[in-house]
Amino acid sequence: MLLSIAVIIAAAVWSAASEQEDALADLSHEQALLATAVAIDFEARLASHHGAAARDESTILDEVLLELLAGARRLEEQGELLVMVARPGQRGFLTTDRRVIPSARIRSALDGSDASVVIPREEAPSLGLPRRTAVAGVARVASRGPQPWGIVVVTSAERLRDRQRQDTWRLGFTVVIATAVVGGLGGIARRRMRSALDLERAIAISTVLREREAALAKADKMATLAALSTGIAHELGTPLSVIVGRVEQVLGRMTEDERSSSALRIVLEQVERIRRIVRGCLALARGDAPHLVPTPPEAVARRAADLVRHRFDKAEVELVPRIDADLANVACDPSLLEQAIVNVLLNACHATPAGGHVSLDVHASDGRIFFVVDDDGVGIPDAVAERASEPFFSTKREEGGTGLGLTIAREIVKHHRGELTVARRTDGPGTRAVIAVGT
């Protein structure tokens, strides 16, 4: 701000200085013209005087000389103007009130070929002028001798002084206005900046608070979920043992009905699956170290697809597995990883209208195995995708959504030190869910 004011002042000073220079030049020119006019008049009078009495120029009396300057005296009456004459070779200048003024400055201007000369303010009083810069116009009139007559018209630079005063005022005024404008604008800018900063700070604080609240709420929900699932898993243990016991009893007695006994064996298999999942969930909730076994990704993907097959058939959505050959084994708890893929596939099926497709693509990249589920469903808004794996977050409450499918899938994938992402597809409508786990 100070810099801008300084620049404005410098510009104003510079402009005032150059205006004064111009004014001085104008005045010098005017004085030179006046001196020339006086000189012409003087020359004419001198010629007629010579005609009347042809005497030596150096003997012309002062009175006579002053008479010769009669025309110029009229000029003097007009204002602060001083007319002087110098005899050829004479150093001093004779004023119309008969003073003789020795001015070296004017003399050297006359001896040179200058038409005017500026007289500094300290020299002005020696000419009987006010203490102010003056300007002298000089003109030469030929004499009979080698040296010319000198005619000098001096004036005090009064107009110049007025102009200087005006300039001083103008400069002061400029500085005041500039300071006010720059100061005012600077103040406004500072206030704006301060309020913008305050706002930014307030937003940052509220964002941090909101994030912390959200994180706490999430942690709270996860803790509730862990407690709940541990409880459920524990409670499930007893009825499952009862089911297994009873089914085994019936199976032992059944000998000839092959269809019924195979159906019962399927019940046992599924119960065993439930137990494994329950055990896995318990381990997960307790935060146990993962027990991962090398498993072919193809087997995991196929089992997951088989588990959801009937749901896809019912919804008339085609499930298309595309599994690369010769994939390295994936380090996983197979039942849990299958469950994670199942949850993702069920969401895809749910989002896709009848006649649509869902693909399950399995491939390896950068030493990891990717299970990619693409659907041609309704798609997922970014805001929903961001929150999709939060516990109990669901946009399908009316249709029985629990908001736990992706939460569990994410926990399982985390347990495998892998990653789960759900986002809108970039290659068309629909959603892409990706589970990436290490080999």
Which positions touch ligand ADP (CB under 6 A)?
343, 347-348, 351, 375, 377-378, 380, 384, 388, 393-396, 401-407, 422, 431
CB of 232 to Mg ion, least distance (A): 18
Q: Which is nearer to ligand ADP, 140 or 432 (CB)?
A: 432
- H/E stretch holding 248 reads helix 158-253
If one asks whether residue 377 binds Mg ion (CB under 5 A), the answer comes out as: no
When CB distances are held under 5 to 8 angstroms depending on the partner's kind, the choice from ligand ADP, Mg ion, none that residue 418 binds is: none
Q: Dig out the tokens for 46 from the structure.
A: 């001198």
Q: Which is nearer to ligand ADP, 85 or 380 (CB)?
A: 380
Q: Where are the alpha helices (DSSP H) in 287-362?
A: 297-315, 334-351
Q: Which is nearer to ligand ADP, 23 or 378 (CB)?
A: 378
CB of 421 to Mg ion, least distance (A): 16
Q: Which is nearer to ligand ADP, 153 or 301 (CB)?
A: 301
CA 346 to the chain's CA centroid: 47
CB of 231 to ligand ADP, least distance (A): 20
Q: Which is nearer to ligand ADP, 13 or 378 (CB)?
A: 378
User: What string marks each residue from 326 to 365 as x (binds Mg ion by CB under 5 A) or -?
Assistant: ---------------------x------------------
Helix and strand counts by DSSP (H, E) for the chain: 10, 13
CB of 308 to ligand ADP, least distance (A): 13
Q: Which is nearer to Mg ion, 335 or 347 (CB)?
A: 347
When CB distances are held under 5 to 8 angstroms depending on the partner's kind, the choice from Mg ion, ligand ADP, none that residue 118 binds is: none
CB of 376 to ligand ADP, least distance (A): 10
CB of 347 to ligand ADP, least distance (A): 3
Asked if 56 and 113 count as a contact pair (C-beta separation under 8 A), the reply is no
When CB distances are held under 5 to 8 angstroms depending on the partner's kind, the choice from Mg ion, ligand ADP, none that residue 380 binds is: ligand ADP
* β-strands 357-365, 318-323 pairing: parallel
When CB distances are held under 5 to 8 angstroms depending on the partner's kind, the choice from ligand ADP, Mg ion, none that residue 224 binds is: none
Asked if 115 and 32 count as a contact pair (C-beta separation under 8 A), the reply is yes
Asked if 31 and 109 count as a contact pair (C-beta separation under 8 A), the reply is no
Between the CA atoms of 54, 58, 63 and 66, what dihedral angle is there, to the nearest 10 degrees? 90
Asked if 152 and 86 count as a contact pair (C-beta separation under 8 A), the reply is yes
- The residue type of 386 is E
Pick out residues in 43-72 that bind Mg ion (CB under 5 A): none
Between the CA atoms of 388, 389, 392 and 394, what dihedral angle is there, to the nearest 10 degrees? 20
Which bin fits 101, alpha (ψ -120 to 50), beta or left (φ > 0)?
A: beta
Q: Which is nearer to Mg ion, 155 or 347 (CB)?
A: 347
Q: Which residue in 135, 130, 124 sits closest to 20, CA to CA?
A: 135
Other beta carbons less than 10 A from residue 113's beta carbon:
8
CB of 399 to ligand ADP, least distance (A): 8
Q: Which is nearer to ligand ADP, 12 or 345 (CB)?
A: 345
Helix, strand, coil: what percent of the chain each, to 5?
60, 15, 25
Between the two ends of the chain, the Cα-to-Cα distance in Å is 64
Q: Which residues pair with 134 in a beta bridge?
A: 119, 156
Q: Which is nearer to ligand ADP, 278 or 348 (CB)?
A: 348
d(CA 282, CA 226): 8
Kindly tell me which residue out of 405, 430, 433, 434 binds Mg ion, with binding defined by CB under 5 A: 405
CB of 401 to Mg ion, least distance (A): 6
Q: Cα–Cα distances in Å, from 291 out to 67, 294, 410, 412, 414?
A: 132, 10, 17, 12, 13
When CB distances are held under 5 to 8 angstroms depending on the partner's kind, the choice from ligand ADP, Mg ion, none that residue 402 binds is: ligand ADP
CB of 403 to Mg ion, least distance (A): 8
When CB distances are held under 5 to 8 angstroms depending on the partner's kind, the choice from Mg ion, ligand ADP, none that residue 28 binds is: none
Q: Which is nearer to ligand ADP, 19 or 390 (CB)?
A: 390
CB of 394 to Mg ion, least distance (A): 7
User: What string marks each residue from 292 to 331 as x (binds Mg ion by CB under 5 A) or -?
Assistant: ----------------------------------------
Q: Give me the count of residues in the chain.
A: 439
- Specify the DSSP class assigned to residue 128: T
Q: Which residue is nearest to Mg ion (CB)?
A: 405
DSSP, collapsed to helix, strand or coil, labels residue 99 as coil
Residues at the interface with Mg ion (CB under 5 A): 347, 405
